[in-house]
Amino acid sequence: MEEKKKMVTIIVEGTPHEWPKGEITYSEVVTLEVPDYARHPEITYSVKYVRGQGNKPEGTLPSGGSVKVKEGMIFSVSETGQS
């Protein structure tokens, strides 16, 4: 029997998104806010989060990085311009 992944609600730039419990990557967070992100690799974004897991409740998600998600976690995505 396939185990259904528990979903959590994360907030990206004020918009709630359902996400499977576990990790989310930098590009997944950016894509939730900027759906055509993959087509514009020249644009870089700053991804910050708050209300994260116990030992890292807040921080910055670097490009190529990932972070464990938890219910009610809040992400902010801002364009930093050309890389």
C-alpha to C-alpha distances, 56 to 19, 23, 24, 37, 44, nearest whole angstrom: 19, 13, 14, 26, 23
- CATH class entry, domain 7-82: alpha beta
Residue 54 has pLDDT above 90, yes or no: no
8 or 43, which is more confident? 8
What are the extents of the domains in the chain?
7-82
| Predicted structure pTM score | 0.88
**Residue 17 to residue 49: CA distance in whole angstroms:** 14
Which of 2-11, 21-30, 52-61, 72-81 shows the lowest mean pLDDT across its residues? 2-11
**Residue 79 to residue 33: CA distance in whole angstroms:** 11
**What six digits make up the tokens of 55?**
């030992």
